[in-house]
Structure 1
Amino acid sequence: MSNINQSRRRLFSRKKSSAIRPPWSNTDIEFTDICTRCDKCIQVCETQIIIRGDGGFPEISFADDECTFCKKCAQVCPEPIFIDTEQAPWELKAVVQESCLAYEGVWCQSCKDACDERAISFKLAIGQAPKPEINTDLCTGCGACAAPCPTNAIKLQSPNQ
């Protein structure tokens, strides 16, 4: 009997989504409770990084481009999902994963070349490929560094993840 109760609890419990929501999304609300999936933010996104994600809810994908922080997604949304766009858009910061070519001895700086904020630098070491370092104070979380990475080694995440 307890297995049935546990199955029911799992059926009705929601797992916390790891999806990246559009910039300026209010983190104090349950996004999926308020978003009507109208797709207006998806249609207006100038870089096409807002996609239909799990359950049809908008998510950010840095696979092909970056966020320009144009604010159009927040302006077009008819629901009270977004905070004041004069505040920081989100807490996302770039993080380099172990699959980075530099950790394999390959000289690659595609992420640095794409970063307009100059938040990514490479530390030189004798006899090794330079290793990436991210200055989180300069990183805006725009995702410009993610798309050009040949091994998808750049992830954007909140500092508390």
Structure 2
Amino acid sequence: MSEAPRLDRRSFLRGRIAPRPEAVRPPWSREATITTACTACGACAAACPQHIITPDADGRPAIAFSSECTFCGACAEACPEPVFDLTEPAFPHVAAIGAQCFAVHGIVCQSCGDACPEAAIRFRPRLGGPALPEIASDRCTGCGACIAACPAAAIATRVPAEAAHA
């Protein structure tokens, strides 16, 4: 569920009347626990060796996939609040390839597949053009390695239907 747009005067004058996109939260945390338990102390961001945890507009942790999550657990260890649940899957999302993918437009690129540590991205050959990437959702860990490697910024995250109803 996305956040309602802010319609105060400052947001209107700055052109920020669209709803904020839903943030990707650190591994083993969910939006509900971030909202209720996170104090925005920044301990998880400081502990992240990959430097991919950054504060969102409210100062709470969000992932910016400039590199991949290695699932080291440093963020969970550093957090003084009950935000992280290591019994849950690390991320509820998987990667999804968008229409701006170079291969879709006839340009050979396999950066995402080369970067994927789980080999969750395969390339389906096609006549008259480069192979198209396909993501095996059951193998994708949501680590973001492909997002960081994509030169077209064509990869985003999505929550699979079965995970959204869990």
TM tier, smaller: 0.7 to 0.9
Question: Match of 1:66?
Answer: 68
Aligned partners of 2:94 and 2:137 also within 8 Å? yes
Secondary structure of the corresponding residue to residue 31 of structure 1: helix
Whether 2:42 is the aligned partner of 1:39: answer yes
Identify which of 23, 29, 40 aligns with 2:27: 23
Whether 2:147 is the aligned partner of 1:146: answer yes
Cα RMSD for the two superposed structures: 2.0
Q: How many residue pairs get matched?
A: 147
Write the deviation string for residues 26-77 of structure 1: whole angstroms up to 9, x where unpaired: 45x3523321111000000010010011111110011x20100011111111
- Aligned residue type for 2:140: C
TM-score (normalizing by structure 1): 0.84
Aligned partners of 2:94 and 2:140 also within 8 Å? yes
CA 130–43 in structure 1, closer or farther in 2 if over 3 Å, else same: same
Equivalent-residue separation in structure 2 for 1:95 and 1:82 (angstroms): 25
Equivalent-residue separation in structure 2 for 1:113 and 1:30 (angstroms): 34
TM-score (normalizing by structure 2): 0.81
Equivalent-residue separation in structure 2 for 1:47 and 1:41 (angstroms): 11
Whether 2:112 is the aligned partner of 1:111: answer yes
Equivalent-residue separation in structure 2 for 1:52 and 1:26 (angstroms): 15
CA 81–30 in structure 1, closer or farther in 2 if over 3 Å, else same: closer
CA 69–94 in structure 1, closer or farther in 2 if over 3 Å, else same: same
Equivalent-residue separation in structure 1 for 2:156 and 2:30 (angstroms): 21
Rg comparison, structure with higher value: 1
Runs of 4+ deviating beyond 3 Å: none
Q: Any gaps of 5 or more consecutive residues in structure 1? A: 1-9
Equivalent-residue separation in structure 2 for 1:52 and 1:137 (angstroms): 29
Aligned partners of 2:33 and 2:83 also within 8 Å? no
- Aligned residue type for 2:47: V
Secondary structure of the corresponding residue to residue 42 of structure 1: helix
Q: Any gaps of 5 or more consecutive residues in structure 2? A: 1-6, 9-18
